Structure 1
Amino acid sequence: MSDFNESLYFRDLNRYPTLTPQEEAVLLTIIKKNESEEIRNSALQRLIRGNLRFVVSVARKYQGRGLSLLDLINEGNLGLFKAAKRFDMEKDVKFISYAVWWIRQSIQKALFEQVGAVRIPPNKLALVNRFKRALVQNGGDYESTIALEEFASCERDIVEVMEKIVDISLDAPIGDDSSSGGDSVSTLMDVLGSEGNQEDELEREERRKLIQETLSSLPQREEEILRMFYGLDSIEDTTLKDIGEDLKLSRERVRQIKNKTLRKLQKSKENKEKLADFLES
């Protein structure tokens, strides 16, 4: 999109004032409880317009990754719309804290789907982000001695994307035998592993469904913290500090809620079996 179109958008944005907490609560009540579809839709539009500036603030964090700012904003607005339709007022969480999850998801999904001709499956986004972060933290050099064993279970369907991201050969060495007592992985391809078969993919998909089902039974804030921290549903895994900023909580409070929730999940034998890999991570 052109700078001119962005200017028009921001000019129009000034027409929509931000909402007070009281105004927001009234609109949410109307959206969920009013019998008139016309009135509900009107309240929904007012709620969305009152939070458009917040979408802009989130979208700016993703500039320089392949989409224009206005495209990022448009994708974020789609996420905001989903959040407004799905929000549960009965849960102990602010609307904007809930909405940021959907805004980020929508933006990230669009970014990764439109990188060149390659589409990264949503369930692989968190993996790719950890991959990039691990390389950066180790100097961005594939010859660095780097612990990439965590990526050994991913399939080759994202190998091309990872190679595109780091612009290296996956057959290049990533360390020497002396770096870890002779047990180091010799290439990135070794680490990424071989192509998974169809049975493995079906098993992973079933496990993902079980995790979704279990987390959806949690209070909304606990569910949101785990989803953000572990990078579920195509969202980047998020640090405790960033989660705290989004939810207006301290890093320590987020850590406490996360750990308490995991302990609660582990008390159920059924949950422990369903989420074995997840809870051990």
Structure 2
Amino acid sequence: MISVEDGLDLYLREVSKFPVLTREEEQDLFKRLARGDQNAREQIVRCNLRFVVKMALRYQRQGVALPDLIQEGNMGLLEVVDKFDPNKGFRFSTYAAFWIKQAIQQALCKQSRLIRLPIRKSRMIGKITEAAKSFAKREGREPSADEIGRIVDLPAERVEQLAQWNEPALSLDSARDEDSPTLEEMLPQQGVASPAERAMDDQMRTRVRGAVKGLSEREQRVLSLRFGFQGAKALSLRHTSHHVGLSQEGVRRVEKKALEKLRRPQYQPLLAGLL
């Protein structure tokens, strides 16, 4: 039996055999198509399959397998052949790119999420993802929300909000590694905690309070709100930002810096097993 990987490899080798059309060849094929020559249509499609693969590669690892992305892109290609007007003077691939991209993004919207997002929001998430990838390739590091926002002309807070929607759903059967419990096993069971569990919880809170004394007042405040150290409900980045007067990106930076401090050797006796 041929595996998915083998099948994809065979497909890629096959489409690479079809040459990229010159402008003159493209014009000639569309003239033949206008006269009803379906062989010309097939040749146009075959010679642009490689272009679909190139576009599908931009969207891989976003929740839909690459072969499925290619298939959706091919559907967009088939649709656009009959819409293209060669008399307007631009190349077919320039016109087809929008339709192919739209077909792929709609597939991502429908298939990659348990929560269906509006098409417009999914496209904006795709735009942010592309901007982040291009930035990382160019600069050799991940961009901040502010940097992405400047690229896609959105506020940093909006970029962070859309990025959260782009997080993949986790299965309750998933675990961090082979020796770790699954998410289902880590979820608290319904019912009242036992005396032993309450005692352990109190001990953990005492250890955490002792450790965070070494942090700045702002770092203590952010961690307390984000993780519910004072017994209150843990807050999201957005709600924490409202409490401390920082942007969400600012809260994220303070939280990251504080956790890095708590991983230092002097805090390990207090926080062993917690970080």
Task: Name the TM-score, length of structure 1 as normaliser.
Answer: 0.48
Whose relative contact order is higher, 1 or 2, with alpha carbons under 8 Å and at least 6 apart?
Answer: 1
Q: How high is the TM-score relative to the length of structure 2? A: 0.49
Q: Which has the larger radius of gyration?
A: 2
